[in-house]
Structure 1
Amino acid sequence: MTSTISNRRFAKWAMTMCAAGAALIAGDAFAQNVQFAPGKAFFDTKCAVCHQAGGRGQDGLAPPLTELPGRYAANGEGRKQLGLTVLNGMFGQIAIKDKTYNFKMPSFRIESDEDLASVLNYLVFDANSKHAGAKPFTAAEVKALRVTQMDGAQVREHREATLKSLGL
């Protein structure tokens, strides 16, 4: 019984610490003029722990999301890549500019189509300074991508092909 109580206390403490960390991240120096507030809230609570506030990335762990998502979103294959990444996760080594990242991003398939479209819009339009006339993601677009199930390694392979097709 003592073990169960200790486990419950630890779980409650861990949840409190995660919430406090998300609040600190959300209010840090990377505050932005936000168009997609629900997407930012989703990002701050579920993504920023690895990708950091505003998607600036964490060396060696999680890549920055402040440049490529905006460039991807103006192209059909790029949009597909973004959707597949949030739905299926991605893992394995990738390189961005002169840095290497080796991480395992979880799948967010259990989240609603609306939430995933919202977080993608936050990344493309709020966290990225350039988005080349991309249109906002819709819940219907995310829903259509759900039929393509991949594991994280396949998503990473798709990413490499997408980068080549976009000349990046």
Structure 2
Amino acid sequence: MIPSHEKKGQALLNWKATNELPWGILLLFGGGFALAGGFESSGLSHLVQNLFTNLPAWPPLLIMAIVCVFVTFQTEITSNSAVTSLILPILATGAVVFGIDPRLLMIPATLSASCAFMMPIATPPQAIVYSSGYVNIRQMMKAGIWFNILGLVLTIGMFALIQVFVWG
């Protein structure tokens, strides 16, 4: 399939190896990056940034908690890489609009993107486990929701303390 210049007549990648590639996983993540690119090029991310200016003046910790919950559950249906590449610039702008240290929104959001445990698309290891055929989505969701909740509680609690004791 891919010719080799070193050995004439031999391929670097043959059809047998190509058939064994986890194409579903590759397409999931490629689709996530394409979705993030589409949000940028269509102006949707700019529209979301503008929405920040119309929100009421909420306490910073409440905003951080809402962001963490949103990101955790968004990464259940979109790859965590795509979510973070889309949401971090929006959070940086939103933090400045709210007069909040951007780290209080961006770091917890990044951690929350890694705390999605319910769906196969959330992380590559979950996609691999699901593609094995030993577990179904319902089983993953039943077990994963508790890890999602634990991740949210730990992330929000940790950054509530960091915000108070480290960043003032």
| The two structures share one fold, judged by TM-score above 0.5 | no
Structure ID, larger Rg:
2
TM-score, L = length of structure 1: 0.31
Query: Which TM-score applies when normalising by structure 2?
Result: 0.31
- Greater strand fraction, Structure 1 or Structure 2: 1
More helix by share: 2
